[in-house]
Structure 1
Amino acid sequence: MDPYSPRTHTTGRKKKIGLSQKEYTKITGTIASVRGHRHRSDHLEVNGDSMGHTSGEGNTKSQNDSSFIAETSFVRAPLNSRVVSTPSAPKSSKGKKRQESLDRVPLDIQEALILEDLLFVLSGIEGTYITYSPDYSPEDDDPLRGIKFVVAPSLDSSLSDLVERVLPLGTYYTAIFAFIEQRSHLDFGLVNHALCAAIREMLRDYQTLLSQLEHAFNTSPSFSLQKHWFYVHPTVHTLSLIYQLVLELAVADDPAGDLSSESSSSEEDEEEAARNEALGLGGAKLKAVLSDINKADVVGGMVGGSGILVKGGEVLTIIYERMQNMSGDPTASTIYGKLLKSAGKPYVEMLRDWVASGRLADPYEELLVKESKFIDRGILEVDYTDEYWERRYTLRDGSISPGSSKRHQAGIPPPRSIGGRLPGGACVPPLLETWKHKILLAGKYLNVIRECGIEMPRDKKYSEDDELSMDYEKFYKFIEDAYSHANQTLLQLLLKDQQLIPRLRSLKRYFFMSQSSFLTHLLDLASSELRKSSKSASAAKLQSLLEVALNNDVGTEDAYKEDLKVTMADSGLYDFLLKVVTVSGVVKAEEGNGEGETKKEKEEKKPLQVIEAMQLDYNVKFPLSLVISRKTILRYQLLFRFLLHLKHVEQSLSAMWANQMTAPWRVPVPTHPEFEGWRLRVFLLRARMLAFVQQMFAFVVFEVLEPNWHALEAKLDKVVTVDQLLRDHVDFLDTCLKESMLTSSKLLKACSKLLVVCQTFVLYSSAFTKSANEAIASAQDPEADPSKTKRWNVLNNFETNFNHWFLIHLDCVQFYASSDNVSLLPLVVRLNSVKTG
């Protein structure tokens, strides 16, 4: 059966061409014979099957009776006649025969034949005289670059020049069609699907044009190659714009990565083969499967090394950049604007759902916001790095705050080698670059509210039917409104419903020992327990003693004191702080200790006493755990342990003073002036130590903690965003740690050495009393005093050590007060009074 209908309206055609009836009959017969020649084998097979013979007469009768005109469904759909039902002959022999046939064909016949071929080529099908390029190979060539067509060299030069102008349409169409077929796969995400749908809609207009051209070719005698060019000329530019976009999307991934992966895999072939054989995975079948997978990854648009498809925000960025670069071309602006709007619809819908309800529906990881599902609110109970708030929802590009150059490095894919863009969803569309942090925070706020069991309804001002696009101002007004609403709702929840300010005041009262005497009661009640080892102490007993001390705290009524509990730290305060401040390795040179000495110190390290390990903990529930997180509680604990140490040393020195009010220290011994001098020196050293500890405690509480707390309260009264609230709270604690000298290794070392000297001095209290009794007993003969030399040696050692470390500490405080920590100036004055005293 001949799949092509003979041309009708011969009378009109004759008048237009200007040929005689005989010449016209000859021309039309030639065209009919050319058409029939393409499927002669198929005709013979069909005739043989239907008529039962293959004689010339039978063939003639079959051609006359079995006409394609009878197939009305195909006549009404002319493009269907472009489909070749049987395999064509080999390209080399077929092309050779066809090219030879044009040498003796008249010019008007050449035009008629080439017009029919063009209808094939514009549909992406090889014609008779317009064939695939000799270099084309379906197996090796990238279909996204399109098929190149060449015209027979025997075609007249005037016609060939015009045909060459039309041929790029075939290349564009095949490339675009291959792009649609490939990127419509599920793995490419919703943005690519929407883009393919928009391009498919544009191709529908192109296919309609082809149908009209074929109808004109079959019915209009005046249809010529010039008219054909007139009709398709505007479409050439339109399809070229889409083709350039398709080509950029196709080459956006990194081809170098594929090459490197191939080379690396070839180097590891032997090792992998041995391992696979040992695991029973060797053989040609496995290699074939792996080869298919690798090939599918390359064809699928995978990035070498990173494995991220060109999808999501990266697709929108490429379209937007092309639209900006070609803004001087009205057609390009229109085409790319339509594609950007259509491709951005699913992206905008995902953003809209995120900022309006806090739900992240991103199955293909296309959005700029990323969720770490393994981090949930339960991790807040044991997390000291605020993973839930900082890492649960993040930006895929790694940026952490507005205007900050820092980025999260973990999990951030490397940029493309071509173009330098981040791949996939990590690429933020330029239109959203300035809004990305508000988009992230809006959804984070809403998620916290949802975790509290409060569902956030959609804003009634923007219904589901409202069409929002990234180039509409209304869309950004929607984001701003959603951000403000989420922020104010969560802020109200924290400050009003969850009573954040009273909670912080409770923390300040107990951890900073402000306006509360419970710590003094606790130290008195637990004096015997505090001298035990931290491993042998009873946590239950300490907790009960804490509750007694809290209940006896006169003038203090706190509804949150039940949330306090006693815990034991694993390491000493100063050892822990030195590890924290020396993470960068800067302090290693300052300490001047080798690794061997550090190991020796660790080996000789004694178990911690309760007083050195005891700390307070504070239970707080979600969502307050976002503000009073484990990270912030750790800061409170460090400040508390420092104050506790100072308070403990102060009480010990005060107890030593009470002990030295007894007879051995107050009985005058005029006959023993040496003992009187020694006793005064002991009193003076104890007084200086007590003054130092009291001045340190007073400075930290009244010069550091109280002023900074009042500054924090003033900020909380004016806070407008949740992020600002979190930042102000952490900044307050960091400032307190810095001004309390807990972030400088030199200050820490000097201060800790001084306090150790004071503690050791207290431990020698009984020895000093024994020496005093011996001196009084030998008052009649001072020269016979057996402990004279020993007590002076001990006292001189304490004085030497205290004066040495005190001067080092004072020098460090003066240095830092004059450089980067002006808040230490009041401490300089206080320490100078101790020095002169």
Structure 2
Amino acid sequence: MDPYTPRITGTIASVRRHHRHPQDDIEDDIDGGHHVSREANSKSNRPGHNDSSFIAETSFVRAPLNSRVVSSTIPPKTSKGKGKQESLDHIPLEIQEALILEDLLFVLMGIECTYITHHPEYSPEEDDPLHGIRFVVLPSLDSSLRDLVERVLPLGMYYTAISAFIEHRSHLDCGMVNHALCAAIREMLRDYQTLLSQLEHAFNTSPSFSLQKLWFYVHPTVHTLSLIYQLILELATADDPGADESSSSSGGSEEDEEEAARNEALGLGGAKLKAVLSEINKADIVGGLPGSSGIPVKGGEVLTIIYERMQNMSGDPTAAAIYGKLLKMAGQPYVEMLRDWVASGRLRDPYEELLVKESKFIDRGILDMDYTDEYWEKLYTLRDGSISAGSSKRHQAGVPPPRSVGGRLPGGACIPPLLESWKHKILLAGKYLNVIRECGIEVKRDHNLSEDGLSMEDERFYKFIEDAYSHANRTLLQLLLKDQQLIPRLRSLKRYFFLSQSSFLTHLLDLASTELRKSSKSASVVKLQSLLDLALNTDVLGEDALFREDLNVTMADSGLYDFLLKVVTVSGVMKAEEGGAGEEPKKEKEEKKPMQAIDAMTFDYNVKFPLSLVISRKTILRYQLLFRFLLHLKHVEQALSSMWVEQKTAPWRCSMPTHPEFVGWRLRVCLLRARMLAFIQQILAFVTFEVLEPNWHRLEAKLERVTTVDQLLRDHVDFLDTCLKESMLTSSKLLKACSKLIVVCQTFAFYSSSFTKSANQAIAAADNPEADTSKTKRWDVLNKFETNFNHWFQVHLDCVQFYASSDNVSLLPLVVRLNSVKSA
């Protein structure tokens, strides 16, 4: 008779009680007295564990709930370890079941026992605790029990991996989303631990408790913990995608053996090689080298991974329920940060988890002095780099590279799929409120925006975002349009820059004619500013005088057409069109030639925040380009008109029927001057009355019914871009032909005194035609002007006709106007 059989009293509990060896009780007493101290010593003595979790915190001030977190550290092996293992061959099946049930209850909590031990290849120093501890059962266990035991064993691996994940992701730098996820998983583990306590109670008290019943109770939990285990594996391997590859490829293949041999030859064998590679990997993560983003999985990336797993396993009700609960609980801090941002404009994101980021280098204190649009565009941006709705490309600097596996942006730059279509509204809602706060206006949270308990899968959350966006829009629009008088400001810009009040400009050009003939570097800006103030005070009255103190004279650094050609063309293309290397020295010589003040003079306009959001430096530059083009046309028109006045004097009006050659030359000069003046006036009238005025009226109509700040900004920029395009300032071919033609007219006007001098010489030599030495020269000069004007006029007309028939229909009226000049 087996010596164990008399000890069986009919219950598994009695078997467990009678089968324990005396030394086990002694050792258990020792273990019970020193368990806590041994566990603490094992943690404190483990290499690299000085700051591995909040358990090392003695005060628990930063993590008061950390005392409840189950540590994933490997418990010290009990005295019932491998050194005491005995064969189960001679033990009856009932006793084997009782012994293996007792061991299973320990293994389900990750503790190695007598008959179920760690896998032989397991190494606490080298294996990643986030992958869990694998357990194996003694081969001598009866085969009828082994099958059930091996089905239960994965629970031990899942539990140790999940516990290690909770401990690892409870660090402060892991972010609030990870903290919330760990809290949600910890709550699920609490149900698992409750189940284990119930199983232990049944094991100790129920005679009918068996391995089959244990499997019946735990098999739903196997699936649940496996789902959590797969999730934490994906989260863990996203930080280091090579972890799985390295662990899966370490199978002792021939390539591994050859590599090990080479490493041994280089003096990097075994643990040394692993240590070197570990240091390299750490350096990659810290330094952000290629192949590693250097950003841990946190914030939006965590939520994206959970959501994608939930979508991929939507056919599994258990998976959908578990991942849905984890997504809701992990997303609560994310949702709270979003709600605070869109409702008050305050960005509280200490761990950089949110889709919106703040650029700390933007100084808010310079808003009154520097009215650039840098504050609006760069202070708050999206972490994924997208700058406008419908734009999927990353345009901004500072956007982290995507993960090497999956192509997903890391950390907060990864926007959860549920929020992808809302990201621009989320960004703008907070930016609008920030503008209001910077103006000294207190932003009060709307009572309609006080929904609690929202999640990213709740329709009320997106209704909340929409309401917050609308509220911010309305508030900022009222501030810009009514309080800051935006529309009167734009009207003043239109009057001053588009020459709607041309009388003050004509007066200014007359007053500053001497100063404007100087070079741009020699002209006095202070004097020009005083003359501008005088012209404005004299000629601009009533409503037209609004904001005239904000208008200033400034000098541009480069010529208008050179600047525009650099913008609309690529370097090298223009050189090829102009003759290549043969004309390059000539071009450099022309660039070194000093520029006249009239060609460099432009207006600047001062605005303060928040109007600088609409009237920004970029929009002021567009106004300046249009103004300089109109000013150049106005200046050439004035010069040709002065030439006409000069040609009404005696040398041009005297009758000389006996000298038909001089009369013909004089007539051709007057005719060329009239054609040039007609051309300049037609261009000026087209740009003023058929481009600027109609587009301005359309802009005013849009401003009357604008509903969002974003639409307001877009309409204003579209108005200026349309004006630039229809004024022929955005096409390199049109710009080149038009600028050449205007320069020919300007140069011809500069020759007015030379023509008058030639006319006087011709009259003086009327009695002696042989004494007229300037006859050939004056005809050569006139022929050159006629040839150049006719050539560039035809080139310009052809270009206008081509673009009017293709992509710029607004040029059709100009075609009619130019044809009238041609036929004149």
TM norm structure 2: 0.86
User: Where does residue 30 of structure 1 map in the other structure?
Assistant: 19
Q: What is the alpha-carbon distance in structure 2 between the residues aligned to residue 236 and residue 86 of structure 1?
A: 25
Rounded Cα–Cα distance in structure 1 between residues aligned with 2:708 and 2:434: 15
Matched, 1:536 2:536: no
CA shift, 1:379, in A, is 6.5
Measured in 2, the distance between the counterparts of 1:247 and 1:386 equals 45
Contact 1:380 1:629 in 2 (8 A): no
1:14 equivalenced with 2:9 (yes/no):
yes
Cα 1:601/1:257, change in 2 over 3 Å: farther
CA contact (8 A) 2:77 2:112 kept: no
The whole-number CA distance in structure 1 between the counterparts of 2:234 and 2:764 is 101
Counterpart secondary structure, 1:252: helix
Tell whether 2:790 aligns with 1:795.
no
Asked whether the 8 Å contact 1:413–1:423 carries over to 2, the reply is yes
Could you tell me which of 776, 780, 787 is aligned with 2:767?
Answer: 780
The code of the aligned residue for 1:500 comes to: L
Given that residues 432 and 476 in structure 2 are in contact (C-alpha distance below 8 angstroms), is that contact kept between their aligned partners in structure 1?
Answer: yes
The TM-score with structure 1 as length reference comes to: 0.85
Report the secondary structure of 1:830's partner residue. Answer: helix
Provide closer, same or farther for how the CA distance between residues 106 and 530 of structure 1 changes in structure 2, counting only shifts above 3 A.
same
The 2-side partners of 1:15 and 1:257 are apart by 50
How many angstroms apart in 1 are the aligned matches of 2:756 and 2:460?
Answer: 84
Match status 1:686 vs 2:681: no
Q: Report the counterpart of residue 637 of structure 1 in structure 2.
A: 624
Residue deviations 1:684-733 (CA, integer Å, cap 9, x gap):
11111111111111111011111111111111111111001101100110
**1:755 corresponding residue in structure 2:** 742
Aligned counterpart in structure 2 of residue 217 of structure 1, from 189, 203, 208 = 203
Structure 2 residue 719 is the aligned partner of structure 1 residue 732: yes
Task: Give the 3-state SS of the residue equivalent to 1:616 in structure 2.
Answer: strand
Measured at CA, do residues 248 and 494 of structure 1 come closer, stay the same or move farther in structure 2, by a change above 3 Å?
same
CA distance in 2, matches of 1:306, 1:596: 49
Give the aligned partner of residue 811 of structure 2: 824
Question: Please, which of 130, 150, 159 is the counterpart of residue 164 of structure 1?
Answer: 150
Distance across 1 between alignment mates of 2:171 and 2:353: 15
Kindly provide the amino acid, as one letter, of the partner of residue 479 in structure 1.
Answer: I
Does the 8 Å CA contact 1:258/1:303 hold for their aligned counterparts? Answer: no
Deviations 1:749-792 (CA, angstroms, capped at 9, x unpaired): 11221122122212221111111111111212223322111111
- CA shift digits 1:132-169 (9 cap, x unpaired): 01111112212111111000000111111111111010
Residues 385, 254 of structure 1: alpha-carbon distance in 2 compared, 3 angstrom cutoff: farther
CA distance in 2, matches of 1:419, 1:193: 24
Tell me how far 1:423 sits from its aligned partner.
1.3
- Selected match of 1:410 from 397, 417, 433: 397
Cα–Cα, structure 1 residues 300 and 665, in superposed 2: closer, same or farther, change >3 Å? closer
Secondary structure, aligned partner of 2:456: coil
Conserved? CA contact 1:665–1:772, under 8 Å? yes
Equivalent residues in 2 for 1:289-688, closer than 5 Å: 294-295=281-282, 304-377=291-364, 386-463=373-450, 466-553=452-539, 557-583=544-570, 586-594=573-581, 597=584, 601-602=588-589, 605-688=592-675
What CA distance in whole angstroms lies between the structure 1 residues aligned with 2:74 and 2:642?
Answer: 108
**Is the 8 Å Cα contact of residues 255 and 304 (structure 1) preserved in structure 2?**
no
Residue 107 and residue 788 in structure 1: after superposition, are their counterparts in 2 closer, same or farther (change >3 A)? same
Bigger CA drift: 184-193 or 214-223? 214-223
- Matched-pair contact (CA < 8 Å) for 1:355–1:483: yes
Deviation by residue 1:781-804 (Cα, 9 ceiling, x = unmatched): 223322111111111111111111
SS in 1 for 2:603: strand
Q: Which residue of 1 aligns with 2:728?
A: 741
1:701 to 688, 702, 705: 688
- For 1:424, the aligned partner's letter is G
Give the paired residue count: 758
> Given the alignment, which residue of 96, 113, 132 partners 1:146?
132
Question: In 2 relative to 1, CA 45–691 (structure 1 residues): closer, same or farther, beyond 3 Å?
Answer: closer
Shift of the alpha carbon at 1:17?
7.4
Mapped partners of 2:782, 2:75: distance in 1: 112
- Indicate how the Cα distance of structure 1 residues 678 and 187 shifts in structure 2: closer, same or farther if over 3 A, else same: same
The whole-number CA distance in structure 2 between the counterparts of 1:775 and 1:520 is 35
Contact 2:455 2:461 in 1 (8 A): yes
**Which deviates more, 819-828 or 584-593?**
584-593
Query: How far 1:302 moved relative to its partner?
Result: 11
C-alpha separation between the residues in 2 aligned to 1:108 and 1:175?
Answer: 32
In structure 2, what is the Cα distance between the partners aligned to 1:84 and 1:144?
A: 12
Aligned to 1:7: none
Q: Point out where structure 2 has 5 or more consecutive residues left out of the alignment.
A: 36-68, 247-273
- Give the drift of 1:31: 2.4
**Does the 8 A contact of 2:130 with 2:162 survive in 1?**
yes
Query: Which residue pairs with 2:261 in the alignment?
Result: none
What is the aligned-residue identity percentage? 80
The answer for the alignment partner of 1:231 in structure 2 is: 217
The answer to whether the Cα contact below 8 Å between 2:135 and 2:157 also exists between their aligned partners in 1 is yes
Provide Cα deviations, 1:55-94, integer angstroms capped at 9, x if missing partner: xxxxxxxxxxxxxxxxxxxxxxxx99x99997557x9xx5
Distance 2:74 2:327 in 1: 36
Q: Which amino acid aligns with 1:32?
A: H
Q: How far is the alpha carbon of 1:172 from its aligned partner? A: 0.5
SS in 2 for 1:594: helix
Partner of 1:131: 117
Distance 1:257 1:541, change over 3 A: farther
- Between the aligned partners of 1:334 and 1:108, the Cα distance in structure 2 is 39
Give the deviation of 1:218 after TM superposition.
2.7
1:492-527 deviations in whole A, cap 9, x for unaligned?
111111111110000000100014411100001101
- The structure-2 alpha-carbon separation of the partners of 1:581 and 1:191, relative to structure 1 and needing over 3 Å to count, comes to same
Equivalent pair of 2:169/2:182 in contact (CA under 8 Å):
yes
SS of residue paired to 1:370: strand
State the alpha-carbon separation in 2 of the partners of residues 153 and 764 from structure 1: 111
Q: Are the equivalent residues in 1 in contact too, given 2:328–2:455 (CA < 8 A)?
A: yes
1:582–1:588 CA contact under 8 A, matched in 2: no
